[in-house]
Amino acid sequence: MDDLDIIVGADGEPRCWWCGDDPTYMAYHDVDWGTPIHDDRALFELLCLEGFQAGLSWITILRKRSAFQAAFEGFEPAVVARYGDRDVKRLLADAGIVRHGGKIEATIANARAVLELHDAGTTLDKVVWAAKAPGVRPVTRVDILPYTPAATALSKDLKRRGFRFVGPTTVYAFLQSAGVVDDHLEGCWRAH
C-alpha cells in the first residue's frame, strides 16, 4: 500500500485518500459513503446527484447538496415526476445548483421511472440491491475500478427502465455511495 492511499486526519483517524483534509469530504466519507441505503427516496436523490456530478468533482455536488434538496423539493419522486417546463426554467435559473438542462430533465425522467417501478410492483431498492456482487476489499486506490460488470449490467437495466444519466461509471459511483459496494480501503477506519 502506498502511504498516500490512506491518510491520517488531524483527529488521528485513517481514511481513504480521496477525502483529503476537507471537512465536507471527511464528513461525507465518515458518515455517508459506503453506508447501505434502502430507502427509495434517498436512493433516487443519490442517483440523481451522481448524474449531476458527471464531468464535475463530487465536492462541487456535496457543497450544493442542500440547495439541490431545496430546489428538487426533497427529491420526492412523486413530486419531481410532476415537474414541467415551468419547473425546468425555475431550476435553470437557480444558481445554487448545477444548471444543466439535460441533467435537470434526466432527474424528472428518473422520478417518473421510479414511479413506474412502483407501478410494476417493485422498488428502486430491489433493482439496485440486486446488483450487489461479492467483492474483495481494495488495498490501494489502483484496486478500485471506474466500473464493474455489475455496474454495467445495472446501467443497462436502468436505461431500459427509462432512467437517464446512468452510465456504468456513474452507476458504479452510485453503488459505492449507496453502500451496495464497500470500497473503503484496507486500513481505513470505515472498512468493515
The answer to whether 181 touches 1, Cβ cutoff 8 Å, is no
3-state secondary structure 176-190: HHCCCCCCCCCCCCC
Instruction: Answer whether residue 144 shows pLDDT above 90.
Output: no
Known active-site residue 83: no
Known active-site residue 189: no
Amino acid at 55: G
Indicate the pLDDT class of residue 9, thresholds 50, 70 and 90: confident
Catalytic, out of 28, 33, 83, 172: 28
> Which domains, and CATH codes, for the chain?
6-177 (1.10.340.30)
Cβ neighbours for 13, distance < 8 A, ≥ 6 positions apart: 30, 189
Chain segment 35-71, per-residue pLDDT in tens? 999 999 999 999 999 999 988 999 999 999 999 999 9
Catalytic, out of 33, 50, 83, 172: 50
Chain segment 90-134, per-residue pLDDT in tens? 999 999 999 999 999 999 999 999 999 999 999 999 999 998 877
Catalytic, out of 17, 18, 58, 129: 58
Query: What is the predicted pLDDT for the residue at 124?
Result: 97
Indicate the pLDDT class of residue 3, thresholds 50, 70 and 90: low
Chain segment 174-191, per-residue pLDDT in tens? 999 999 999 899 999 998
Chain segment 68-87, per-residue pLDDT in tens? 999 999 999 999 999 999 99
